[in-house]
Amino acid sequence: MAVGIFDSGLGGLTVLDAAQKRLPDVPFVYYADSAHAPYGVRTADDIYDLTVKATQALFDAGCDLVILACNTASAAALRRMQESWIPADKRVLGVFVPLIEALTERSWGDNSPPREVDVKHVALFATPATVSSRAFQRELAFRAIGVDVEAQACGGVVDAIEDGDMILAEALVNSHVDALKRKMPQPDAAILGCTHYPLMQEQFQAALGKEVKVFSQANLVAESLADYLERRPEMLGEGETRYLTSGDPKQVSQRAVQFMRRQITFESA
């Protein structure tokens, strides 16, 4: 048994990479739903159905714990899955909470009432589905008061990254940052609320300016997973790390190698 990591495509590899560095002895099964990516332009029902199917595939591959390393799935499907679908002996965790805990200077599971925090003006970059779910603002409101959030739906960026068209991805990042700055000229912090965006982190930072603190999820999620496994060691599996995809394994492997600059071989899910 291994820990499952799910994403609509290759973006979750940024989370997997950080998790493997933090937990080198833990085996992982990564699932890329490449046949259905991008999720960010789909309806909430559609995202729910696809996420349930992929999570079931990870349970079937022997994972008792699955991380939805996809903000769109975490925002649009996780709560509904937790309320009505996840079997009692399995766990599914999302990627929002570790990020918001870092932004609001909280340690894991600190459920004290919302309070004032250092950051006041936060720019959120995410997919259209994540932005319209307002899940980020909801989770933030449980923990902080007085934070102004301006969300920018970054249409097209995930498709460009999945297609390996980094020139288009860069141009789109610049234009989304421009659009955000017209609404919020001086954010103190920016959240890369999509696991694909760390692949464009330098571009975001350059377009935002170096005075803006850019939060990205990979290390935060890896740290929180390490913490969780320390408290729930029975979820820590054994076996081999595998990479599954609903898409064309050859093409997906090629893109993965291009992004992560190491050998990654996908098999058909």
Residue closer to ligand DGL (CB basis): 195 or 219: 195
**Other CB atoms closer than 10 Å to residue 127's CB: what's the count?**
30
Residue 63 catalytic?
no
Bridge partner list, 244? 31, 267
Give the shortest CB-6-to-ligand DGL separation in angstroms. 10
Q: 13, 57, 70, 123: which one is catalytic? A: 70
- Smallest distance, ligand DGL to C-beta of residue 41, A: 7
Give contact residues for ligand DGL (rule: CB under 6 A): 7-9, 11, 37-40, 70-72, 127, 130, 158, 194-196
57, 194, 200, 218: the catalytic one is 194
DSSP 93-151: E-SHHHHHHHHTT--TT--PPPEE-S--EEEEEE-HHHHHHTHHHHHHHTTEES-EEEE
Based on CB atoms, which residue is closest to ligand DGL, 129 or 236? 129
Q: Is 194 a catalytic residue?
A: yes
Question: Smallest gap, in angstroms, from Cβ of residue 137 to ligand DGL?
Answer: 16
The CB-of-240 to ligand DGL minimum distance in angstroms stands at 25
SS (H, E, C) 194-259: CCCHHHHHHHHHHHHCCCCEEEEHHHHHHHHHHHHHHHCHHHCCCCCCEEEECCCHHHHHHHHHHH
- DSSP-derived secondary structure letter, 264: -
In one letter, which amino acid is 185? Answer: P
In degrees and rounded to multiples of 5, residue 243 shows phi and psi of -125, 120
> Nearest to ligand DGL by Cβ — which residue?
40
Q: Catalytic positions, please?
A: 70, 194
